[in-house]
């Protein structure tokens, strides 16, 4: 997965989506900055499921606050 550019660490959000459709949105400023080579745990996928490649991070986006749009469940109908 290619690196994502952060424009404003104070207001941008990270969107992480797994292949099973789980989505997590949180502020970039809440992502811990770890030492070199440590990596980051962005979304909690049980290690057994990740090792078996049953659940994986499918998409990672950095979204500037100005580009936020409301989300609704696929089952919701619009008027």
pLDDT at site 41 = 82
Neighbours of 71 (CB within 10 A): 9
Tell me if 55 is assigned to some domain: yes
Position with higher pLDDT, 69 vs 50: 50
Q: What are 1-60's pLDDT values in tens digits?
A: 888 899 999 999 999 999 999 999 999 999 887 788 777 888 889 999 999 999 999 999
**DSSP state, residue 13:** E
Total number of domains in the chain:
1
77 in any annotated domain: no
Global confidence as pTM: 0.73
Q: Are 23 and 17 in contact (CB under 8 A)?
A: yes
Q: Is residue 74 part of a domain?
A: no
Q: Helices in 1-79 by DSSP H: which ranges?
A: 47-51
In the structure encoding, which two tokens stand for residue 62, read together? 């950095």
pLDDT for 71: 58
């Amino acid at each position: 997965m290619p690196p994502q550019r952060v424009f404003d660490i104070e207001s941008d959000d990270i969107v992480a989506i797994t292949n099973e459709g789980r989505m997590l949105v949180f502020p970039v400023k809440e992502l811990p900055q770890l030492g070199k080579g440590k990596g980051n745990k962005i979304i909690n996928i049980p290690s057994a499921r990740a090792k078996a490649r049953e659940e994986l991070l499918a998409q990672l986006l950095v979204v500037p606050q100005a580009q936020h749009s409301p989300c609704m469940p696929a089952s919701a109908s619009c008027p």
